[in-house]
Every structure is written in C-alpha cells, then in structure tokens.
Amino acid sequence: MKSLIDITDQIIANVPIGQSKQVVLVDVAGRKDVSAGESNANIYCVDDRGVVIWQIDAPSPKMEKDSFVSLRQTDKGLLADRFFGAEFTIDVSTGTATEVGWHK
C-alpha cells in the first residue's frame, strides 16, 4: 500500500469526506510500473497532506487487471466502477467495498 498520494499521481476523481479527508481515484491505465494488485486497488482515502488513511479493500476481480475507473457520491453512498463493469459501494470509514451490481 502507498503511504502518500502526491501531485505526481494522476488523480482523476475525488470526493471530499469530512473537513480534511477525501477519497481519490488514481489513474493507473497503461502503467507498467504498477503491479496488478495495486492497479486493482487504485482508490485511496487521504488526508489534506496526501497521507493515505486507507486503500480500498475490494474483492479480487475476475480479470487479472481490472482497475477502478469511476468514483462518485450518490444518494446511495460512495460508488465506484471497475473497467469491466462491476459496481461497488464503499464504506468511507474503512474502505471496504461491496459489489452491488454490474453494467457496461
């Protein structure tokens, strides 16, 4: 797990939670320097200095690499989608993700 998210990471979505924390989605598409495990867990909760509080804890995908590609706050809570279509809700306190659907 990373210990710090900084400006060299490509943050493609962020959702503020509370006064000094946010959940961020880091773009890992096409990166050869990122392992499959890190690629598949590319959502983090960070504080205002970029220190990682948690990294998403999601079930293993069916494909070897299936990173998250969207992150959004809805009336159903914090939702994220993987590239191959699995949709998850995320517990903002722990980072635990629960699969709730599929779409493409």
Mind listing the pLDDT tens digit for each residue in 13-30?
999 998 999 999 999 988
Q: What is the pTM of this model?
A: 0.92
Cα–Cα distance for residue pair 60/39, rounded to 1 Å: 11
How confident is the model at residue 56, as a pLDDT? 98
The label of the residue with tokens 């959940």 reads 23
What CA–CA distance (Å, rounded) separates 61 from 6?
Answer: 26
User: Domain limits of the chain?
Assistant: 11-102
**pLDDT score of 55:** 96
pLDDT > 80? residue 8: no
Name the pLDDT band for 52 (thresholds 50, 70, 90).
very high
CATH number assigned to the domain covering 11-102: 2.40.10.480
Beta strands in 3-95 (DSSP E): 11-17, 21-26, 43-47, 52-55, 68-74, 77-82, 86-90
What is the average pLDDT across 51-68?
A: 94
